[in-house]
Amino acid sequence: MNSAFRNTNPKNGSLSQSPTSRSRRQFVLETLFAAAAFEIIPSGFAQGASRQIKLGVVGNGGRGSWIAQLFKQNGGFEMHAVADYFPEVADKCGENLGVPQTRRFSTLSGFKRLLESGVEAVALEVPPYFLPEYAAAAVEAGVHVYMAKPAAVDVPGALKVLAAGKKATEKKLCFMVDYQMPTDPVNIEVQKKIRTSGFGKIVHVWTTGLTTGFIDPPGNLESRLRNLTWVNDTAMGCGYIGNYDIHAIDAALWAIGEVPIGASGNSRVSRVSPHGDAHDVCSVLFDYPGGVIHSHFGEALNNKLPGELSCQIHGTTGHALLNYWGKSSFRSFDDAMEGEVANLYEAGANRNISTFYKNVIEGHFENGTVQRSVDGVLACVLGREAGLRQTRLTMETLLKENKKLDVDLSGLKA
């Protein structure tokens, strides 16, 4: 879909234009730090590879077509098929990738036809509302999955992704969710130093998500699938905290090593002439099993503030900063470091694509990004719901509610 199926690109420091219920203890990420151990593989790792993976790209708008080119440049993938709700978008992307007309699919059924076309892997760059269903279908079809974030918009969707990830491992399939911050070498080094004795105990974390927002004109569902308008619709995009701020909140989970057990918050719609229901300003206070206080502030308004996705970590004897743009740093009584986070939007995607290729070829099916992506979604949904209700909400209650967000797709072309 043109913009329906992911079309985010960085602009002026933002990412805007161009299972059943588990116990608290089970929420702690067993593989939270797996991303830090990923080998940093340079772009072009697979150039000259003897084996190319037949790839289908679903969602061919701005980010979808952009990331398709990164897969092509990697050299380890045959651009086998494309699918987008809008036929003209699928055609344009397919033409640029050299995909034959017969393997360019459109409308809602395009994804199913793409799966039947002989692909070995799919890159899903669609609105998060569709991701759980598409990912589960791909795994059922025996296809490797590379997927955008957020993994879902609600608890049922998140748990469906978790189940799909576990099934992928059982079927010896790769399943990767594309987060960039944990792939950056400077962020990885800072995260390691947070674990040293010199940093002390983590007591407070502050995350920030600032963006200029996304256009929010009136229109029917089909029109709102263009130009990222769907980000303004909570059921389609997970809300701003889940669609954008999640990068910073994911970094907090990475740093803390736990998932929140509760959240208190407030949020509202502040943009001019809103047509979607997503709240664009929020303040959330998360609490964790180990006692860490986590303050989060998110704002998505065209008020000229520079974009920011950051995570400040305060220890009893140290301070650290994880960043999407700019510098990340570490300070303690006996150690200090600082480094530039370079070109993360593209470099991070390239590293993930190369790791995905390597995992498929070498048969690494641990799929550690699935659990952390699910816990990130659940944390954001917890914060979103606490803000909407203007109260404290526990993760236990959120899971018991198991509230599903529905979108009426009846007006769309099947």
Task: Identify whether 4 is part of a domain.
Answer: no
Which of 148, 351, 372, 132 lies closest to 243 in space, CA to CA? Answer: 148
Task: Identify whether 12 is part of a domain.
Answer: no
Evaluated on CA atoms 165, 169, 174, 178, the torsion sign reads positive
Query: Is the pLDDT at 264 greater than 80, yes or no?
Result: yes
Shared domain for 257 and 116, answered yes or no, is no
Say which range, 16-25, 167-176, 278-287, has the weakest mean pLDDT: 16-25
Task: Give pLDDT tens digits for 142-195.
Answer: 999 999 999 999 999 999 999 999 999 999 999 999 999 999 999 999 999 999
Q: How confident is the model at residue 10 (pLDDT cuts 50, 70, 90)?
A: very low
Task: Identify whether 65 is part of a domain.
Answer: yes
Task: Identify whether 18 is part of a domain.
Answer: no
As a whole number of angstroms, the distance between CA 402 and CA 21 comes to 8
Shared domain for 191 and 334, answered yes or no, is yes
* CATH number assigned to the domain comprising residue 355: 3.40.50.720
Shared domain for 142 and 249, answered yes or no, is no
Query: Is the pLDDT at 4 greater than 60, yes or no?
Result: no
As a whole number of angstroms, the distance between CA 368 and CA 345 comes to 21
Shared domain for 217 and 303, answered yes or no, is yes
Task: Identify whether 219 is part of a domain.
Answer: yes
* CATH number assigned to the domain comprising residue 304: 3.30.360.10
Task: Give pLDDT tens digits for 36-92.
Answer: 333 334 444 455 556 999 999 999 999 999 999 999 999 999 999 999 999 999 999
102 contacts: CB under 8 Å, gap ≥ 6? none
Shared domain for 173 and 258, answered yes or no, is no
Task: Give pLDDT tens digits for 214-239.
Answer: 999 999 999 999 999 999 999 999 99
As a whole number of angstroms, the distance between CA 157 and CA 293 comes to 27
Task: Give pLDDT tens digits for 79-101.
Answer: 999 999 999 999 999 999 999 99
Count the residues in the chain: 414
Beta partners for 282? 267, 298
**Mean pLDDT of the region 337-347:** 97
* Beta carbons of 251 and 183 less than 8 angstroms apart: no
Q: Are strands 202-211 and 175-177 parallel, antiparallel or unpaired?
A: unpaired
Tell me the pTM.
0.89
Shared domain for 175 and 92, answered yes or no, is yes
Domain count, the chain: 2
Collapsed DSSP state (helix, strand, coil) of residue 406:
coil
As a whole number of angstroms, the distance between CA 327 and CA 340 comes to 4
Shared domain for 264 and 130, answered yes or no, is no
Shared domain for 162 and 87, answered yes or no, is yes
Task: Identify whether 5 is part of a domain.
Answer: no
Shared domain for 167 and 283, answered yes or no, is no
* Beta carbons of 212 and 301 less than 8 angstroms apart: yes
Task: Identify whether 177 is part of a domain.
Answer: yes
Task: Identify whether 2 is part of a domain.
Answer: no
* Beta carbons of 107 and 83 less than 8 angstroms apart: no
- Domain residue limits at 205: 184-343+376-401
For residue 314, give Cα distances in angstroms to 203, 260, 320, 322, 333.
Answer: 6, 17, 7, 12, 13
Shared domain for 132 and 231, answered yes or no, is no
Shared domain for 31 and 177, answered yes or no, is yes
Q: Cis omega (within 30 of 0) on the bond before 218?
A: no
Query: Which residue's entry shows tokens 């979607």?
Result: 276
Q: Is 249 exposed, middle or buried (0-12, 13-18, 19+ CB in 10 A)?
A: buried
Shared domain for 143 and 189, answered yes or no, is no
Task: Give pLDDT tens digits for 93-136.
Answer: 999 999 999 999 999 999 999 999 999 999 999 999 999 999 99
